[in-house]
Chain A
Amino acid sequence: MNSLTFTATFDAAVYSGNDTFCPTTDCLIFAYQVTDTGGVAAGTGIIEHVTASNFANFSTDVGDQTLSTATSVFAAGGTAPSTVDRSLSGPGAVVTFDFPDATGGNSDLIPGDHSTVLIVETNATNYTTGLFSAIDGATATASGFGPASATPEPASMALIGSALLGLGLLSKRIRRQS
């Protein structure tokens, strides 16, 4: 990922399991980690925001995890986001992780640093290609993972259809009796 002010790489993974929205069934959890690989010029290269999309029409719980040991996808440790937010438009299509715009501290994401594992818990059960961006005035975007709307299975459609038919017959019978 190259922008006018920084270069970066990112890692992403989709997990299945219980989360805030699905305590007993399996839903999808999306995880991302960005690594700031350099500034284009001296004094540049800070990444202030990292965004992931498209989460429109899905419930989200947004946070991060600092891994104590690296996994096959994600590195241990890292810089944690200071705040998170979610766009009003979409609705809620874009989830943003914010990093402080300050050099010299331990909390900013500067060249050579990587973020903690940025996590979005959802109520989604399918995934598709999403977008992942890193921003510092200029934006760099790459394809990542995002949630996809579930397509009703034929059996589910048949169940809904028979329920509607039953309701129709019931209301007809009530009308005839009255």
Chain B
Amino acid sequence: MKRFFSSALGLSAMSIAACASTLIPGEALQSPDTLSLTGLTMIASETNVH
């Protein structure tokens, strides 16, 4: 039982850590994350849109 609660607590902590940098609906004035486009594949683009 103790092991079960420990693993549940660990999973909860991991899920909180995974969501720490995400922006949920209603989230106000957070610092922007440092993100990167490196390694991604561009599939569509538009430039100089007026």
Contact = CB atoms under 8 A, between A and B. Distances in A.
Contacts of A21: 22
A61 B34 CA distance: 10
Interface string B18-50: 100111111111111111110111111111111
Main SS at interface, chain A? strand
Given A1-B50, A73-B47, A85 B35 contact: no
A29 B37 contact: yes
Nearest to B18: A20
Interface residues of A, number: 52
A98 interface: yes
Contacts of B44: 13-14, 127, 145
Contacts of A73: 42, 45, 47
Interface of A: 1-2, 9-18, 20-21, 28-29, 31, 56, 59-65, 71-73, 80-81, 83-92, 95, 97-98, 117, 119, 121, 127, 132, 142-145
B37 to A, nearest CB: 6
Given A9-B50, A144-B49, A61 B33 contact: yes
16 contacts: A2-B50, A9-B49, A11-B46, A13-B44, A14-B42, A29-B35, A29-B40, A64-B35, A85-B28, A86-B27, A87-B25, A87-B26, A91-B26, A95-B23, A119-B36, A145-B46
A62 B31 CA distance: 9
Contact of A60 (B23, B31, B45): B23
Nearest to B34: A63
| Closest 6 pairs between A and B when the two form their complex, measured CB to CB | A92-B25, A63-B33, A88-B26, A17-B40, A15-B40, A13-B45
